[in-house]
Every structure is written in structure tokens, then in C-alpha cells.
Amino acid sequence: METQIKELPSFKIIGLAVRTTNAGNRSERDIGELWGRFMRESIIEKIPDKADDDVYCLYTDYEDGANGHYTTIIGARVNSLERIPEICIGKTIPSSRYRVYPSRGKLPDTVVNTWKEIWSSDTPRKYQADFDLYGEKSHDPENAEILTFVSVP
């Protein structure tokens, strides 16, 4: 899989969150339920001061790398964390270097397969903040294009 390294400035995100772990496929269940709620309740429409129309699925607050608990936030990049809806949380992601992995194909399978590849690779990771970016090319669930950003030293 072709990847590239990008340096990104810090940014802010507001969205729905869940604390989960990869143990026992719990993250697959928890994140699936979080996506369901995000879509059902039209959370994207409730987020104020969005920087753009993209959806972010952020993985952060890692307890023990890929083996421990971490927080997943599904939401939007925002210009400010001054007005956070009660059902959401806000988070500032520090500037970092990222290895960018493209995914192309059917959702959610293509993103799941990308993460399986990341977990089995020997890419050094910071376990600071990683995210999937669902931009304009992600709207067709049968032929989506998603970018996964993994924070690296």
C-alpha cells in the first residue's frame, strides 16, 4: 500500500465519543454503535463552527498502545471549542507527523482492512492521535475513498 508522510498543524474536533479497546473485538462493536448513533441522531448537523464538511473518526488517549483502552471520537473539525453540545466532547489534536494510508472500496470493510494492515506493520507509532478522514470521496459506500492518518515520530 502506498503511503506518504505529512506534517499537520494542530486542530480541534467536536463529536460523539466512546472509550473502547481492541480486546475481544470490543472496538468493532463499540465504534459500530457509535457510528450508528452519529448517523441516526444527525450529530454532524449539531456541531457548531465546523471548519469544513468532512467527518473525522479520531482515535486518541491511548492507555497502552494498540493493546489498551483508547477513546474514539466521531465528529467534525471545528474552528473553536467554545460551544460544545452537551452530548459531545471537544478535543485539541497537537501538531504531528502522520503516515497517511489511503483506503478505496466498500465501507466499512476498506477501512477495517487498512487498520489490520497498520496493526500488523512495523511502522513506529506515537499513539497520540490517529484518525480516519471521510471527505467528499467517501460518500459512495460501495466505492469510497478514505484517508487514515497515523501519528509517527
Span 114-118, average pLDDT? 91
Cα separation of 31 and 4, whole Å?
A: 26
95-120 burial code (b ≥16 CB/10 A, e <16): ebebbebebeeebbebbeebbeebee
Based on the structure, what is the number of domains in the chain?
1
Q: Which residue has the cell 466521531?
A: 74
What's the whole-number average pLDDT of the chain?
Answer: 94
pTM of the model: 0.93
Q: Are 75 and 37 in contact (CB under 8 A)?
A: no
Domain residues for the domain of 21 are 4-152
1 pLDDT band, cuts 50/70/90, is low
The CATH number of the domain holding residue 143 is 3.20.80.10
| C-alpha distances out from residue 49 to 11, 26, 82, 97, Å | 13, 32, 9, 26
Span 111-122, average pLDDT? 90
Residue 70 phi/psi, 5-degree rounding, is: -155, 165
Span 69-78, average pLDDT? 97
Span 49-68, average pLDDT? 93
